[in-house]
């Protein structure tokens, strides 16, 4: 059978054909609907790359400049699209370079399938060239992984990988395939995985728990919702909005939950957590019923657990039983898929408005505006603030852009000030806090959603951790917009050093290169802004440029992000200055 004939049958999984393990990998990916994957070739995965070459009219391989970049690009692809992101690497250092992105995907519940090459099976355990026990290394940071040593195992392993990655609470999986399994021929037939014995990804909805939750919500005088990414992952945005509006409950979001409900919605009261908004943090310790939906009570959200919402009855809607009572003791736990649970909850709720309770949020917002927001957005000092840049981006994108942020001060500012009209618009590294996430994740996001404006927001520190991915943008001609907010510091660490270490700026000041020259070296249009009066036109030029664009904005060197909850403090002890 020639290559052309094979290619025509690439998506035909109803017939049994005799092919190599490496071809089986590609055919299995095609059967799962994969059209784009990210990776870097090497010796132990070369047979698969040879097949990708033959099938390049059906599946687009993106050569990143580092394997970590491949994982983050796959994450960005998954986060904006809801599909499974796919990345591929060789054995040894290629595989270990995936680990940071895999760990990031695990803690942020991002569906991702990673395929790694491995030395031949007869060399396993012999310390062969570029042999690493990637299954052992990745076990703590994957939802599931396996090693394949025979070609006949490949279809089932990949089918299970996609099913596990996407079902229930999503996460990353890894399939490690020995080189001899890639060469070996077998009779291939692909069957998608529809279930695995003893694996129950979606708990059965307990209607008694649902009724108990509705009773607490209906009786509440001062209810408050905190929602997380589970609303987005469960594609429950419309059901969530209906619940919030019918019950008239003020609703706050975690970083990863942002954009599930429009920023402008009157019941959206802002972000909770260490650098969240003043009102939802303070009033967490005054509400009488706290309704958590698709969030895990992360320490950056709760602060001191011994002083977190002790006065409140806690209702927790969650798909993962492991999260129930892990950090915060619940009064009612509703296990299940968010979409199903919220749809079933809606008819049980009474229509409420809670005007006096809402007024408390408005009053505290007014305090935050005067002490923080006004100074961030309309500073009287000479230096540009990060918030001004985000505000200008809001003005020119009308809240329709997807913001992909790196990690640091700029991330908190982006989450606080970006306007989101559409779901899946805030893409950032939440649980792991991975510097370097932003640029490659933006590449993946733009490829998955080419019709959306995708803007990468980075600091000068995180940007340089994956700056080599400019090469990927150059080669792929990906029209992503890149904004670097340059304060010549590792800003978040410097803020802590200023507040808690008597301004001993140990190893946080950055001596940076000419970022504009570097971008132009990759044939990316670029501009540097140093003055406030230059900002509006520079952002307009960036947005209106058809291809990729790099914009460096020099911001105040020692700016701080407030509000702030100090480590070990209560959420109600949040600082405004």
The set of catalytic residues is: 67, 129-130, 179, 492
In angstroms, rounded to a whole number, what is the distance separating the alpha carbons of residues 43 and 446? 30
| Burial class of 427 by CB neighbour count within 10 A (0 to 12, 13 to 18, 19+) | buried
Which phi and psi angles does 437 have, rounded to 5°? -65, -40
Find the length of the chain.
Answer: 577
- The torsion region of residue 34 among left (phi > 0), alpha (psi -120 to 50) and beta comes to beta
Burial 292-327 (b: 16+ CB within 10 A, else e): bbbbbbbebbbbbeeebbeebbbbbbbbbeebbeee
CA torsion 505-255-454-445 (nearest 10°) is 110
How many C-beta atoms surround the C-beta of residue 33 within 10 A?
11
In angstroms, rounded to a whole number, what is the distance separating the alpha carbons of residues 401 and 422? 8
In angstroms, rounded to a whole number, what is the distance separating the alpha carbons of residues 171 and 156? 18
Classified as helix, coil or strand, 420 is coil
- Cα of 390 vs its chain's centroid, Å: 19
**Pairing state of beta strands 85-89 and 481-486?**
unpaired
Within 236-289, where are the H helices? 237-247, 278-284
CA torsion 85-86-92-98 (nearest 10°) is -10
- Which residues, in sequence order, are CB contacts of 514 under 8 Å at separation 6+? none
Two tokens, residue 214: 């509705």
Tell me the HSE value of 574 on the side-chain side, using a 13 A CA sphere.
32
In angstroms, rounded to a whole number, what is the distance separating the alpha carbons of residues 347 and 342? 9
| Burial class of 15 by CB neighbour count within 10 A (0 to 12, 13 to 18, 19+) | exposed
Q: What is the 3-state secondary structure (H, E, C) of 499-529?
A: HHCCCCCCCCECCCCCHHHHHHHCCCEEEEE
Q: What is the CA radius of gyration of the chain?
A: 24
């Amino acid at each position: 059978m020639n290559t052309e004939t094979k290619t025509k049958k690439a998506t035909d999984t109803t017939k049994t054909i005799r092919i190599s393990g490496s071809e089986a990998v590609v055919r299995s990916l095609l059967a799962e609907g994969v059209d784009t994957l990210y990776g870097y070739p090497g010796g132990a995965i070369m047979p698969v790359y040879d097949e990708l070459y033959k099938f390049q009219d059906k599946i687009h391989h993106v050569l990143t400049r580092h394997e970590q970049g491949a994982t983050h690009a796959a994450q960005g692809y998954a986060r904006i699209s809801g599909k499974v992101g796919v990345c591929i690497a060789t054995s040894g250092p290629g595989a270990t370079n995936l680990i940071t992105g895999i760990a990031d995907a695990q803690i942020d519940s991002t569906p991702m399938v990673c395929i790694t090459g491995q030395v031949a099976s007869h060399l396993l355990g012999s310390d062969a060239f570029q042999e690493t026990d990637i299954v052992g290394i990745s076990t703590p940071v994957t939802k599931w992984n396996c090693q394949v040593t025979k070609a006949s195992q490949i279809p089932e392993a990949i089918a299970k990988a996609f099913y596990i990655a996407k079902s229930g609470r999503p996460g990353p999986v890894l399939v490690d395939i020995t080189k001899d399994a890639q060469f070996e021929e077998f009779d291939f037939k692909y069957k998608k995985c529809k279930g695995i014995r003893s694996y129950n990804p979606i708990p059965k909805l307990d209607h008694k728990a649902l009724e108990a939750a509705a009773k607490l919500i209906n009786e509440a005088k001062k209810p408050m919702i905190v929602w997380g990414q589970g609303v987005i992952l469960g594609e429950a945005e419309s059901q969530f909005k209906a619940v919030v509006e019918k019950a008239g409950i003020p609703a706050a979001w975690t970083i990863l939950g942002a954009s599930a409900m429009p920023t402008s919605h009157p019941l959206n009261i802002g972000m909770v957590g260490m650098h969240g908004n003043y009102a939802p943090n303070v009033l967490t310790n005054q509400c009488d019923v706290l309704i958590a939906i698709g969030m895990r009570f992360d320490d950056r959200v709760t602060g001191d657990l011994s002083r977190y919402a002790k006065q409140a009855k806690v209702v927790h809607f969650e798909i993962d039983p492991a999260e129930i009572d892990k950090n915060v003791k619940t009064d009612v736990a509703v296990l299940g898929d968010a979409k199903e649970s919220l749809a079933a909850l809606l008819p049980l709720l009474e229509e409420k408005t809670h005007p006096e309770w809402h007024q408390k949020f408005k009053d505290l917002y007014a305090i935050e505006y005067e002490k923080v927001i006004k100074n961030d957005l309309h500073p009287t000092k000479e230096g540009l603030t990060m918030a001004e840049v985000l505000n200008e981006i809001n003005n020119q994108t009308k809240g329709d852009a997807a913001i992909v942020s790196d990690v640091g001060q700029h991330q908190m500012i982006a989450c606080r000030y970006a306007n989101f009209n559409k779901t899946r618009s805030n893409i950032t590294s939440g649980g792991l806090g991975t510097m370097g996430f932003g640029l490659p994740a933006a590449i993946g996001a733009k490829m998955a959603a080419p019709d959306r404006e995708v803007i990468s927001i980075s600091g000068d520190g995180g940007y340089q951790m994956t700056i080599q991915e400019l090469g990927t943008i150059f080669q792929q001609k990906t029209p992503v917009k890149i904004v670097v907010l340059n304060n010549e510091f590792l800003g978040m660490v410097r803020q802590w050093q200023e507040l808690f270490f008597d301004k001993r700026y140990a190893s946080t000041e950055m001596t940076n290169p000419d970022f504009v020259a570097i971008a132009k070296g990759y044939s990316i249009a670029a501009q540097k802004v140093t003055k406030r009066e230059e900002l509006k036109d520079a952002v307009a030029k960036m947005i209106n440029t058809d291809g990729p664009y790099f914009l460096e904005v020099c911001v105040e060197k020692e700016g701080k992000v407030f509000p702030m909850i100090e480590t070990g403090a209560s959420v109600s002890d949040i600082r405004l200055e």
